[in-house]
């Protein structure tokens, strides 16, 4: 497993992260096998959120592993807060309470990374700054980031923060390429030229913010996976041909396509099957050529100007 150095930090982490959203419905032995397989394959970065499974994903994660200091030091734990039932909440009080809850459920004294989970329209950045400073000075959180935010939202927060925003978690996959489409189709009067996110891809590269693609196998907004899906015959034919040529699975090719981008993204994979974790991790050993990358991009239904 290749590793990436996260700018403005001492984090040197696996370039693939394991998302833990779906583990709440698994048994403890199943969770333990999944996490230990990931560790054996070189994944040391685990993504959580306080809302996953209503908190059960965090709780069952630590219980299944019988979390202890030795094991904890082998991991980089990331969690998120800010989504509440029916609204978003970036208030100082909620951020502090949410982190305390996550720490208790994860059986740890600190998390390596805290992300604000989707934008809060009523955000008061001064309160966020106060919360972050308390969390950092108390040792409860080492680094900070955001999720699904555009450049100006990050700029607004950054005006008040003492800490750097290190991560931005964004939806991105072979079939969800809006932040790439706009850059390819500049100065064109067509739908793919519409910049819907304020140039977030280039902004993150300029600011050395690591993009964490979520749902890298999904199309639409949780509409299903595109791999082995009859709705995407041309795309799957292109992926399968590359997978056969490189002796890997289609899942590995889908992740290798993301890793090929020079932004040095860190995809979050949410599989719950240890065997698939092993298949996906082979993506770290693959570097697609430019021609192969664009072939997949076009097979997904995109056209080049």
Q: Are 203 and 184 in contact (CB under 8 A)?
A: no
Q: Are 54 and 24 in contact (CB under 8 A)?
A: yes
Please state, in angstroms and as integers, the Cα–Cα distance from residue 266 to each residue in 65, 72, 102, 216, following that order: 24, 21, 23, 11
pTM: 0.96
Point out the catalytic residue in the list 52, 143, 219, 297.
52
Domains recognised in the chain with CATH numbers:
3-232+264-286 (3.20.20.100)
For the chain, give the longest Cα–Cα distance. Answer: 57
Q: Is 52 noted as a catalytic residue in this protein?
A: yes
CA atoms within 13 A on the CB side of 200: 28
* Residues 62, 54 contacting (CB under 8 angstroms): no
Virtual CA dihedral for 32, 35, 36, 37, nearest 10 degrees?
Answer: 120
> pLDDT tens per residue, the chain (305 residues)?
999 999 999 999 999 999 999 999 999 999 999 999 999 999 999 999 999 999 999 999 999 999 999 999 999 999 999 999 999 999 999 999 999 999 999 999 999 999 999 999 999 999 999 999 999 999 999 999 999 999 999 999 999 999 999 999 999 999 999 999 999 999 999 999 999 999 999 999 999 999 999 999 999 888 899 999 999 999 999 999 999 999 999 999 999 999 999 999 999 999 999 999 999 999 999 999 999 999 999 999 999 99
Q: How many C-alpha atoms does 243 have within 13 Å on its Cβ side? A: 19
Minimal CA–CA distance to 269: which of 261, 280, 258, 279? 280
Which pair of tokens denotes residue 9? 């930090």
Taking the C-alpha atoms of residue 87 and residue 17, their distance in angstroms, rounded to an integer, is: 27
């Amino acid at each position: 497993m290749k590793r990436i150095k996260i700018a403005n930090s001492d984090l040197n982490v696996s370039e693939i992260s394991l998302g833990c959203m779906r583990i709440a419905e698994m048994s403890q032995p199943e969770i333990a096998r999944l996490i230990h397989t990931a560790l054996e394959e070189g994944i040391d970065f685990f993504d959580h959120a306080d809302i996953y499974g209503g908190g059960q994903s965090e709780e069952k994660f630590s219980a299944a592993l019988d979390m202890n200091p030795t094991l904890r030091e082998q991991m980089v734990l990331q969690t998120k807060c800010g989504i509440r039932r029916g609204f978003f909440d970036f208030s100082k009080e909620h951020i502090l309470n949410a982190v305390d809850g996550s720490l208790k459920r994860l059986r740890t004294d600190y998390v390596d990374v805290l992300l604000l989970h989707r934008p809060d329209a009523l955000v008061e950045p001064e309160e966020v700054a106060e919360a972050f400073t308390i969390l950092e000075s108390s040792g409860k959180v080492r680094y900070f980031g955001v999720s699904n935010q555009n450049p100006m939202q990050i700029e607004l927060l950054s005006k008040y923060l003492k800490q750097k925003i290190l991560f931005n978690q964004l939806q991105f996959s072979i079939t969800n390429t809006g932040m790439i489409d706009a850059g390819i189709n500049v100065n064109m009067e067509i739908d793919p030229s519409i910049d819907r996110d304020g140039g977030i891809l280039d902004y993150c590269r300029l600011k050395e913010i690591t993009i964490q693609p979520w749902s890298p196998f999904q199309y639409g907004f949780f509409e299903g996976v595109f791999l082995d899906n009859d709705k995407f015959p041309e795309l799957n034919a292109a992926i399968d041909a590359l997978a056969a040529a490189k002796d890997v699975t289609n899942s590995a090719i889908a992740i290798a396509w993301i890793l090929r981008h020079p932004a040095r993204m860190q995809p979050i994979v949410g599989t719950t099957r240890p065997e698939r974790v092993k298949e996906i991790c082979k993506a770290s050993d693959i570097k697609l050529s430019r021609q192969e990358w664009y072939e997949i991009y076009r097979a997904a239904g995109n056209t080049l100007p």
